[in-house]
Amino acid sequence: MSVEDRRRYITVVSAIFEIVQPLLRTMLENYYSNKGHGSLQVFLNTQLVIHILFHLRHRKAFCCEDNLSCRTNSTLPLIKCQWNLLYTENAGQPCHNCHCKFKANQVQINELDTTLASLILLNCCHLGPSEETAVLKLRRYKNEYLSHSINGTIDETEYKSLWTDLTTLVLQIDSTKQKDLIRIEKKTRDEGASSRYSTDVNKNQVGNFDF
């Protein structure tokens, strides 16, 4: 395995952890704040949001309060641990499979990883076309280079194209991130820093999947 190929991989993954993930969290926080929701918990507890997310987790369920908007997804992109992070079943509700049985937890925005933050943004927020495209592509890069990476390397040709795209997408959402991107590239060129990042990346890859 080439040391440089590994370093390029660490640079990309570091950008995902240090820039993309906080950026998506901030997008979500700004969205629900601008809609007048004082916290993530309040936003998640709105009927529209809980109904959408409920059907991203539960298949073939029909809700008593809004059965006309119920939908069955061929896949369930919201996995059990993500749903349990966001919601708790209300024991006082009738025993039928409906979103009215659940209430939002006191989850904090910094508890959402890239996958979960992007899922909520794409399904529960009204994004503009360019924002939606950017979030979709950033989510895809996270899945390709963190969740599904086999050998943890990126060759020079692939890196040049990928880093250009990654930079463009990040700056499209937040034009102030240019210096942060440059900082990460410089930091991961340092052998010691790259070694430490490699350890952190290996730890964070455990349990990180695409849904």
The token pair that represents 174 in the structure block: 């937040």
How far is the C-alpha of 114 from the C-alpha of 9, rounded, in Å? 18
Residue 144: how many other CB atoms lie within 10 Å? 13
Q: In angstroms, how far is the first alpha carbon of the chain from the final one?
A: 29
Q: Rounded to two decimals, what is the model's pTM? A: 0.83
Residue 104 phi, psi dihedral angles, 5° rounding? -70, 140
pLDDT tens digits, 137-150: 999 999 888 766 66
The token pair that represents 187 in the structure block: 């930091």
pLDDT tens digits, 88-101: 887 665 555 666 67
Alpha helix stretches (DSSP H) within the chain: 3-15, 21-34, 40-44, 47-57, 80-86, 114-124, 129-142, 156-173, 178-189, 191-205
Cα torsion 29, 185, 208, 55: sign: positive
Residue 18 has pLDDT above 80, yes or no: yes
Instruction: Report percent pLDDT > 90 for the chain.
Output: 52
How far is the C-alpha of 98 from the C-alpha of 75, rounded, in Å? 18
